[in-house]
């Protein structure tokens, strides 16, 4: 669901959530990483986009450590994010561009984490 914001100055901003879901057990072999459903950003002419927030949690278990990446590099503010059973937010404003690839990368698990939800919120402006 998109939320439209029209601040002073008349620029329309739509905040859209993009969710990553892992149903079941989350397991990453030692020394490996796991990329979860990367997607490409598609912007219309004159449109800009900014990653503004992530909301995340697991249903059960101890924790999962993740990075959010853009074009293969970790996005500043979204490195080593700990996801546990308490829903929480990570906020760091980062501009993203047309055709950027955004990917969630699981870099580690602790305990037996189960069912992860990780939603990123991007504001699209025009």
pLDDT at position 3 over 90:
no
Q: What is the pTM of this model?
A: 0.86
Q: The domain containing residue 24 runs over which residues?
A: 2-125
CATH of the domain at 101: 2.60.120
pLDDT in tens, 67-118: 999 999 999 999 999 999 999 999 999 999 999 999 999 988 999 999 999 9
Indicate the pairing of strand 81-83 with strand 73-74.
unpaired
pLDDT in tens, 29-62: 766 677 787 899 999 999 999 999 999 999 999 9
Helices (H), 9-93: none
């Amino acid at each position: 669901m998109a939320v439209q914001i029209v601040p002073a100055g008349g620029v329309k901003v739509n905040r859209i959530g993009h969710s990553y879901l892992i149903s079941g057990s989350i397991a990453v072999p030692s020394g490996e990483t796991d990329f979860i459903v990367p997607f490409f950003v598609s912007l219309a002419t004159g449109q800009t986009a900014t990653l503004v927030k992530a909301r995340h949690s697991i249903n059960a278990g101890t924790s999962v450590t993740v990075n959010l990446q853009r074009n293969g590099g970790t996005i500043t503010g979204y490195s080593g994010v700990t996801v546990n059973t308490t829903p929480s937010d990570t906020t760091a404003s980062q501009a993203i561009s047309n055709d950027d690839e955004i990917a969630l990368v699981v870099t580690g698990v602790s305990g037996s984490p189960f069912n992860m939800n990780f939603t990123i919120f991007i504001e699209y402006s025009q």
